[in-house]
Every structure is written in structure tokens, then in C-alpha cells.
Structure 1
């Protein structure tokens, strides 16, 4: 039996088969949540933003036009994150929670929790655009072509920007490692 594509399901939802949205939710909510979590480092905010994405999918279902569903839903997620970030910008607080989430909630694993925490803090020191590229490509495993569609850019430009963002992350990570080791 052929599995129905996300695009076919979304077209059905757009045409009134609202119960089928649960299939898309089941397929995508964890990845959308992880995207937000990597951007905010806040579980509750990530849950709220994920819920908002699917509310927008339902609200704007008739605007979906046979394009790549993953690109469409990540465009919605990016817009929601941008709105959230703008609201938080004025009263920006440290979004890093003291407790480390369980390894099930984190996309990558590490035997050393200190290294994982350090990597997460380093990721938060990047600007939002660089962090978003790393989260989408390396942690969400979205292909350059899809990211290009989401960002309205070219795949080559996305590849170059992602490479540069990774280089910045590496510099931040190892710069603060040196600082800590020099203090000891």
C-alpha cells in the first residue's frame, strides 16, 4: 500500500478533510518542536510555538497550493518564531534554562553533559539567522534545497551561509573552552 504524501494530505485538509490534519501533526510535531527548542532553549515556549504552527496550518489551510509541505510548514514556523523573537526582544532574558533536558528531547547525544550544555550555550551566542541555519540543516536534517525554498534563496547560498555559521559556532565553542581552561 502506497503511503500518502504530506502534500496529498494537506490538499485534502485544504479541501475540508480536517481530521487528516492529525496525520500531519503526528508526522511533524516533534521536528517542529525541536526546531523551536533549539532556537529558544525553552520547553514551554517551544510547546506553545509548535501548537501555534498547527493552529496556523488549520487557519490558512486554503492558502496551501501543492508545494513542498515541509517547506510550507517551516515557513510558517519561521514566521511564528520571528514574531515571538520580536516580542521578546525588548525584555530579552537569558533563555538558557539551568536544567539540561533529557537526551530524548535533544537531537544529538553526548556522554558529557557539560559539553552538551556548552554547545547549547555556544549555539545561543550565534545570531538568529546563523542559529536557524544550523538547527534546520544539521539538527533537523533539512536539505539545502528545502531550506533555500523556505528562505527564498538558492541552495548554494544556503550551503555557504551554513558553512560560515558552523565556522562561527566552532570559534565560539572553542574560544570559550580556552577561556575556561585558562581560568583553571
Structure 2
């Protein structure tokens, strides 16, 4: 029979140990302890972006749910950095939905990508530009990117439904994401020239 450790012992466990314990037992108790450590950090990040206390509190709850649903999909070396990225991307997604425009650098589910884009690499585009860029991708890249980012499918789901290997899926998504960004920038530039 499993006996829970006491609160003091939990405080001495590292993030990685708690995460490993969660993965081993599939018991959300361990994930709850881990998330509790960073509640204030999450609230601070959400306040920074959303500028509204009630909205920030709601966002923290949504981020908790997102982590519970998605943590098993990723190999996480530094939980705090990963969690910060999840929070930032969630807030950017909320802001994007407010404006009805999509920042190019925002990939809500791309939690491993923690590199900030240079200011000149970001541009806001309309859904029409995004669709045109998607249509310009190869069929494999378009299908994989759409399933992964828009339909929230895992690599495994895409592999099984499309008949690709996991390596092919990863490659289609990575290359598709890069090509999509380049295409969006190109289409946005051309559209800006036409309007000038």
C-alpha cells in the first residue's frame, strides 16, 4: 500500500522528482504539488499580459487544466521554464482572440520552443493570410500542422491516422511550421505593398 510523504518531505523534492513521481504513478497529487509551487508565478505572468485580476485568475485555472491534459505529451527538462512558456502562450492566445488577429510567433502548443523571436520577425496577419500560407505548404506538412496545432492531435494520433512514422510527423510539423512562418511573412509583405 502506498503511503504519502509528509508536507516537509514534499518541500525537499525537486520539480523533476515530483514530475517523475507523477509519471510513475499517474497520480495527479504529485502534479498538484508541483503546480502549487508556481501558482504565484503563473498569476504574475497572467497579470503582466492580461492586466486584469479576474481574467488572470481565470487564466491560471485554464493553464492548470492545460498542463494536466498535456504534460504527458512532452519530455520536460526544466518544469518551471516549460510552465512559464505554457502560461505566456496561453495569455498571447487570449490577447490574439480579443483582436481577431494571429501573431505569427504564437504557437500555443509548441511548448518546447522557448526562443523569443526578434521584433522584426513578428507580424500580425489575418486568418485569410494564414489560410493562404497553409494552402501553399506541401500536403503532408499542411495536414500535419493542421492536425497538431488546430485540432490538438498528438504526434502519435497523427502517425496512426495518416500512416506516417513518428519521425515523419515530427519532421512535417517542424518544417511545416518554419515554412508557414516564412510564407506568412512573404504574403503579409506582398499584401502590405499592394495596400501602400
Give the TM interval when normalised to the shorter protein. 0.3 to 0.5
The structure number with the bigger radius of gyration is: 2
TM-score (norm 2): 0.44
TM-score (norm 1): 0.47
